[in-house]
Amino acid sequence: MKKKILIISGGISKERLISLDTGQQVANELKKNGYTVKITEPDNNLEKNIKFFKPNIIFNALHGQFGEDGYIQTILERFEIPYTHSGVIESSIAMDKEISKKIFIKNKINTPKFFTYSYDVKKDDLIKKIKKKLRFPVVVKPLNEGSSVNVYICNVKNLIKTLSSIKQYKKVMIEEFIGGREIQVAIMGNKKLGAIELKPKRKFYDYKAKYNSSAKTEHIIPVDLPKDKMNMVMNMAYKAHKEIGCQGVTRSDFKFYNNKFYLLEINTQPGMTKLSLVPEIAAYKGISFIKLIEWILKDASTKK
């Protein structure tokens, strides 16, 4: 008999709509294949829904804050029901760009230079620091958002205005801007699943390029890289996945510039929508959408 799967989607992060899309598409695929499925929000009814529905496995389809930063994982641990993707600590580390980058550096995984900014430095001093440590342009990003929410490429002219517009974050990352090619790598447990290259028509692969089909980002698979370079980027993604202790499927975002790969971040809960990259990589490798979902569910049952 097929298992009962509770899907948690929606939530309160800025990625709510993507999460709803992921949850619905996973639900549709599971229902087509004979599973009993219920979708729930991570709200005050969550505990009641879990106790009433009695799922065999919980599929965490949340994206962004409260969904992939260890928060919902902490709540789910109480129920002693297997849930998908990474656990509490691993999710928290991967979502925090500052901590995860320190782990990359410690493990000799190349990543753009950066420092964090807490709005406590004078404008002139900040610009001097950037010119000395990073050079313009720079990338400004929140420490705990996904899907390139509120990520900006800044020059001297628009830096202060941009920082003022995202002051609600209290602390942000200012990172060296790396041009070049956008390469994304999927890891599936102990398997180096594959890679895809993105050619956004926009300035970079931002939120709109990721989720708006009218943005017309070109997806290239297989990626045109020499074998040694492909092995290198695969190994870097695998090492990041393992060093953080991730479980299930992850997607690592790289830039390839001047013959070097730079790991930007690792995503512990990649999207499962029609425009999502991991299902596309899996399909190219002969793994259908339902087989990918079933593998994620099976992997959840092995969580330590």
Angle between helices 97-106 and 88-95 (to 10 degrees): 90
pLDDT for position 205: 45
Instruction: Give the span between the Cα atoms of 175 and 154, in whole angstroms.
Output: 10
Average of pLDDT values for 114-131?
Answer: 86
Average of pLDDT values for 16-29?
Answer: 95
Residues marked as catalytic = 15, 147, 211, 251, 253, 265, 267, 271
pLDDT tens string 187-239: 999 999 999 999 987 555 444 544 455 457 899 999 999 999 999 999 999 99
Q: Which residues contact 121 (CB under 8 A, 6 or more apart)?
A: 129
Instruction: Give the span between the Cα atoms of 210 and 18, in whole angstroms.
Output: 10
Q: Which two tokens stand for residue 61?
A: 């389809």
Closest-CA residue to 277 (of 208, 221, 216, 200): 221
pLDDT tens string 151-168: 899 998 889 888 888 888
- For the chain, give every domain's residue range: 4-88, 114-176, 180-296
Closest-CA residue to 185 (of 236, 111, 224, 242): 236
Closest-CA residue to 278 (of 215, 230, 221, 236): 221
Q: What confidence tier does 184 reach under pLDDT thresholds 50, 70, 90?
A: very high
Asked whether the CA dihedral 143, 149, 153, 156 is positive or negative, the reply is negative
Please state the pTM of the whole predicted model.
Answer: 0.89
> 169 vs 180, which has greater pLDDT?
180
Q: What confidence tier does 304 reach under pLDDT thresholds 50, 70, 90?
A: low
The CATH label, of 3.40.50.970, 3.40.1190.20, 3.40.50.20, 3.30.70.260, for the domain at 4-88 is 3.40.50.20
CATH number assigned to the domain covering 180-296: 3.30.470.20
pLDDT for position 120: 80
Average of pLDDT values for 247-260?
Answer: 96
| Least confident stretch, 84-93, 142-151, 289-298 | 142-151
Q: Is 114 exposed, middle or buried (0-12, 13-18, 19+ CB in 10 A)?
A: buried
pLDDT tens string 278-303: 999 999 999 999 999 999 999 997 76
pLDDT for position 290: 95
pLDDT for position 15: 87
Average pLDDT taken over every residue of the chain: 90
114-176: CATH class: alpha beta
Closest-CA residue to 89 (of 243, 230, 277, 207): 243
Is the predicted pLDDT of residue 101 greater than 50, yes or no?
yes
Instruction: Give the span between the Cα atoms of 111 and 260, in whole angstroms.
Output: 10
Length of the chain: 304
